[in-house]
Structure 1
Amino acid sequence: MDWPVSVALAQAVPTLPVGPGLHYEPKFDGHRIVMWRTGETVRLQTRSGRDATAVWMDLAVAGMQLPAGTVLDGEAIVHVAGRIDFGAAQSRANSTPARARELAARHPANYAVFDILAHPEHGDVRGRTYVRRRSLLEELLEEYRVGPPIQAVPSTTDVATARVWYEALQPMGMEGLVVKAGSSVYRGGSRQWRKVRHAETVDAEIVGYTGPAVRPRHLAVRLPDGRTALSQTLTAPLAAQAAPLLAAAGPARRARTRGGDAYNAVATGALVEVLAGTTRHAVVTVTRVR
């Protein structure tokens, strides 16, 4: 398996899917991280393929518990005042290595594992079913006595249990639920999973911006129905999170939305969450850069 690996994604749905062979997992509000245990060290990869080892060094150290040849997929999460805090995870992800060490000293990270992509004995296991991968993951963590801050997320086939998780874990910072077919293989780049969130948000692709790329004023986003619209004015933290994605996208070209608003068009492949209630209008509200 070559670095970086393309990760499987989830499509937001408004209601909880129900049916035979479905597995439900809590979706913790964190930063997507792939953990690579090599022969000598641990490397951490973001969803976009960047090396994030330096800012999640506490998790890299914890990953040394794993046997060489293991590749895991999960969420780096940070607890603040007993609750999962996405803002704290984003602050860590966007910090310098020196700043990350300071943040880690105050709020150590945890790694919520939900999949295994490579196994020390079986190699690349992405072509195996979810049920088999889940079994391999649990067996590996138990055999090597891997403990906190690395832990497997819970998984159930019982819809009633999943609904209890959905309601009971929300105060602790759980974002919602992810639903996976037990017979499914792991397909990087595919929105093969389903997610149900507490927040009324939808995913939109960043396709451009206004203002300078280093400090964008608005984002141009492609909504789920195919329309392109400009966001409301970005807050400073959101602009700071979007800027590296825009800079990495290369030169922009001039374009206009259907409503005639001009923007700088780029292909980022990155997503933002926008308030679902604002997408029917010409301007949308961005709540998070994914």
Structure 2
Amino acid sequence: MGEHDRRLDPPVSPMTARTVEVTPRAGGLAYEAKWDGYRTMLFARPDAPRLQSRRGTDLGPGFPDLLRAAAVLGHEAVLDGELVVIEDGAVSFGRLQSRAQRTGPRAEAAAAAHPAHFIAFDLLELDGDLIMDRAYRERRALLEELFTRHDLQPPWALCPMTTDPDRAEEWLDPAWGRVGIEGMVVKGLGQPYRPGERGWRKLRARATAEAVVGAVTGPVTAPDMLLLGRYDDEGELRLVAQSAPVPTTLRRELGRLLVPAGPGHPWTDARFRSGWGSRDILRHRCVDPAQVVEFEADVAFDEGRWRHPVQARRVRADVGVPQVPRFGEQGA
């Protein structure tokens, strides 16, 4: 397919990244900040602007403010980026979700109260030219030129990028997670854009924290996953995280320590979903909330909860339940 054959039409599968555990260090690499929002393909068309989610759904009805911005960009273009809502200087994933569920007048009211931003990190098409086959360094240069030439202001934002791995590793500091940067994406400067291909690499910022085991899936004597809680200021045990499958050694240790809950456990009749946004309900068994575990989590934290499954690491026999942070506190 040549650059002038046709323009891109939705849906377009975005290029994605595989997770790595350490920062790649080699010549010819670029590092971008990874944002905690909705991955979005933006089609800037004066006649038919569109916002497409990673899975191909139309996000436009929830974000009429961005559709208007896309229609008057001044160029026909297709950009890859992250859709976010920023409040009090930080990304608000909860507000973003709320906006995505609204349409019509309610969407317009939400746009006025909580404006969205599009953080662009790649350019796939510009003024009728398909540029996906060009090297990343060329696409990035064109993207930067687009921002500079038109002095693009909010709702437009240009994703930070560096070729210095030491500088990029600053984005792995959990402090950046509190404003919405959850790690980095690593790309080859000479790489073309391949829709649907996992050709990039990503690292998430991670930190340790502590919580109380309030329930488990599977047998109490050998739990599969943990439902972790913290007490709020009223003394109520609130869910803060769901673990990934528990490592074998820790499973055995917890199996010796956990005690099935008696009457009156606050989660006896609770319904927990299997994941953030899922409709599947977990079959859980309540346990006496007396054991504290340390876990490792990324920085996707909203409304007092970690959105993604956490990795349970060890029992903290040296930490009593009253010493565990309160509900709403992110740190350990």
Class of the TM-score when normalised by the shorter of the 2 chains = 0.5 to 0.7
Check if 1:136 corresponds to 2:142: yes
After TM superposition, give the deviation of residue 190 of structure 1 in Å: 1.2
Change (3 A) 1:16 1:196: same
8 A contact 1:24–1:177 mirrored in 2: yes
Q: How far apart, in 1, do the equivalents of 2:272 and 2:17 lie?
A: 25
Where does the alignment leave 5 or more consecutive residues of structure 1 unmatched?
Answer: 201-222, 224-232, 247-271, 279-290
Aligned to 2:205: 198
Write 1 or 2 for the structure with the bigger share of helix.
Answer: 1
Matching of residue 47 in structure 1 with residue 82 in structure 2: no
The superposition leaves residues 223-258 of structure 1 with CA deviations (integer Å, 9 ceiling, x where unpaired) of: 9xxxxxxxxx644993xx345xx9xxxxxxxxxxxx
Partner of 1:71: 78
| Cα distance in 2 for residues equivalent to 1:39 and 1:108 | 21
TM-score normalised by the chain length of structure 1: 0.68
2:155 is matched by which residue type in structure 1?
A: P
8 Å contact 2:172–2:206 — kept in the other structure?
A: no
Residue 108 (structure 2) pairs with residue 108 (structure 1): no
Separation of aligned partners in 2, 1:135 and 1:29: 24
In structure 2, distance between residues paired with 1:183 and 1:137: 16
Residue 93 of structure 1 and its aligned partner are, at CA, apart by: 2.1
Structure 2 residue runs without a partner (length 5+): 1-7, 208-244, 246-270, 281-306, 314-332
Pair 1:28 & 2:63 matched: no
Deviation at 1:273, TM superposition (A): 4.3
Which structure has the greater CA radius of gyration? Answer: 2
The alpha carbon displacement at 1:180 in A equals 0.7
Aligned to 2:310: 275
Q: Match of 1:266?
A: none
Paired residues, what number?
Answer: 220
Whole-Å separation in 1 of the counterparts to 2:69 and 2:19: 31
1:18 aligns with 2:18: no
Q: CA deviation at 1:101?
A: 2.7
1:139 Cα offset (Å): 1.1
Query: What SS class does the counterpart of residue 309 from structure 2 fall into?
Result: strand
1:154 to partner: Cα distance? 1.1
1:134-154 alpha-carbon deviations (Å, 9 max, x no partner) = 011111222233221101101
What amino acid is the match of 1:161? R
> What letter corresponds to residue 167 of structure 2 in structure 1?
T
Post-superposition shift, 1:51? 1.4
- Separation in 1 of the partners of 2:178 and 2:274? 27
User: 1:114 offset after TM fit, Å?
Assistant: 0.4
Equivalent AA in structure 2 for residue 88 of structure 1: R
Structure 1: distance between partners of 2:96 and 2:206: 18
**Contact 2:61/2:102 (CA < 8 Å) preserved in 1?**
no
Instruction: Note closer, same or farther for the CA distance 1:237–1:95 as it changes in structure 2 (3 Å cut).
Output: farther
1:34-82 per-position Cα deviation (integer Å, ceiling 9, x unaligned): 1111242421111111111111111112223423420001111111222
Q: Give the conservation status (yes or no) of the 8 Å contact 2:36–2:93.
A: yes
- 1:110 aligns to what SS in structure 2? strand
The corresponding residue for 2:170 is: 164
Residue 242 to residue 170, structure 1, CA distance change in 2 (3 Å): closer
Q: In 2, Cα distance between the equivalents of 1:57 and 1:198?
A: 32
**Could you say what the CA RMSD is over the residues aligned between the two structures, in angstroms?**
2.8
Cα 1:66–1:55 shift into 2, 3 Å: same
Contact 1:67 1:120 in 2 (8 A): no
Question: Are residues 99 and 199 of structure 1, via their aligned partners in 2, closer, same or farther at CA, if it must alter by over 3 Å?
Answer: farther
Following the alignment from structure 2 to structure 1, what is the Cα–Cα distance between the partners of residues 84 and 126? 23
The residue aligned with 1:174 is 181
Deviation at 1:189, TM superposition (A): 1.1
Q: Deviations over 1:195-233 (max 9, x none)?
A: 111247xxxxxxxxxxxxxxxxxxxxxx9xxxxxxxxx6
CA contact (8 A) 1:31 1:93 kept: no
Determine the structure 2 residue equivalent to 1:152: 158
Task: Look up the SS of the partner of 1:48 in the other structure.
Answer: coil
Given the superposition, is the C-alpha separation of residues 197 and 139 from structure 1 closer, same or farther in structure 2, using an over 3 Å criterion?
Answer: same
* Counterpart residue number, 2:14: 7
Match of 2:91 among 84, 89, 105: 84
Report the identity percentage.
37
Aligned AA (2:21): P
SS in 2 for 1:143: helix
TM-score (norm 2): 0.60
| Separation (CA, whole Å) in 2 of partners of 1:3 and 1:18 | 35
